[in-house]
Amino acid sequence: MGQEGSPVSEVHFNDCRVPAANLIGGEEGQGFRTAMKVLNKQRIHLAALCTGPAIRMLDEAIRFVTERKQFGQPLAEFQLVQAMIADCQTEIFAARALIMETARQRDRGEDVTMQASMCKYFASEMCGRVADRCVQMFGGYGYIADFGIERFYRDVRLFRLYEGTSQIHQLNIAKRTLALAAAS
Ligand SMILES: Cc1cc2nc3c(=O)[nH]c(=O)nc-3n(C[C@H](O)[C@H](O)[C@H](O)COP(=O)(O)OP(=O)(O)OC[C@H]3O[C@@H](n4cnc5c(N)ncnc54)[C@H](O)[C@@H]3O)c2cc1C
């Protein structure tokens, strides 16, 4: 569907022997815990990766609605178009704030398993909503290839799927929230 600059294929390991020295986590039984720690970092990173294209798409949409005129005035002067700009800008800011705060917590050595999930879940869904609004602001030109925004729309759809689907993150956030409530 998108991200054509990043070729994808499955990798199969058959009868693959891994030396004990290469055990993830260094000792038996620690592999999953160690892998999860890596996931936290990757999820914060992926959330930041979602925020970049959202900023770019909004920049492109703002340029377009400022230049294109309908009914004798730039699209940017219509309040319903301004509402889409405001929603995009607000959600981008919220994602950045969430990511920065989680990164600070991780740098302090805190357990950010739930926060990393919240970052990835919110930022990837936010990016999808921003992509949708930006296509809308481009009108019919948003749907055809010449203006480029449709490529972003396709590219960012993957963010909600890999590095844990939105549903898996919802489960993770709820599980940890309920555990915190039970412990308090
Ligand atoms: C272009 C691309 C690149 C990728 N790159 C990588 C990569 O580099 N490394 C890597 O490891 N993987 C990669 N993946 C795989 C990706 O991580 C998985 O596709 C993703 O995790 C979803 O798994 P799945 O496709 O098996 O979907 P499924 O697990 O079959 O899920 C299908 C649907 O069911 C929902 N679902 C599944 N389980 C539950 C549950 N317990 N409760 C509620 N809902 C559930 C999911 O949220 C989803 O909506 C890539 C995939 C694509 C398409």
pLDDT in tens, the chain (184 residues): 999 999 999 999 999 998 989 998 888 898 888 888 789 999 999 999 999 999 999 999 999 999 999 999 999 999 999 999 999 999 999 999 999 999 999 999 999 999 999 999 999 999 999 999 999 999 999 999 998 999 999 999 999 999 999 999 999 999 999 999 999 9
150/145 Cα distance (integer angstroms):
6
CA angle 75, 151, 74 (to 5 degrees): 10
Find out whether the beta carbon of 42 lies less than 6 Å from any atom of ligand 1.
no
CATH number for the domain formed by residue range(s) 38-183? 1.20.140.10
Q: Report how far ligand 1's centroid is from the alpha carbon of 168 (Å).
A: 9
Minimal-distance CA residue to ligand 1 atom 36 = 167
Domain map of the chain by residue range?
Answer: 38-183
